[in-house]
Structure 1
């Protein structure tokens, strides 16, 4: 599977909601809160205290790729669900 997003693509997101397998979610990097990550949802675990999800990379072999294999499961609280992707315009010369 190739990555769903390319350089320069824009996203429209909605905060909250229960993560579902296969969704794209935006959330703060658990290791560096100044950076945001966009990842695909793997497994989801829900309880009375909320939901957590496994964040998976579409391209795990890419340089610098990080996902739940490195930083663990992610809280759904404070994450955003991607509802629309805007492709970067390709200009012709």
Structure 2
């Protein structure tokens, strides 16, 4: 995995409205692998804050917990990312 791909995975994981399934579709990285990456890439306090937010029910990181009004997971920045498999 390139540094650019790693940065994009972390960015997508940090976004509340980007589900883990989108990361899996685009990069082939499972939820548990994303959690491991986040643990390695973030400061400890940032990782704890992210995990708390993801598990709190506020986050839309899991498709089954999402508001039905959200029908897509494409980021507004997604067009500018090279090698994007979803756009």
TM-score (norm 1): 0.24
Structure ranking higher on relative contact order (CA contacts 8 Å, 6+ apart): 1
Greater C-alpha radius of gyration: 1
TM-score (norm 2): 0.25
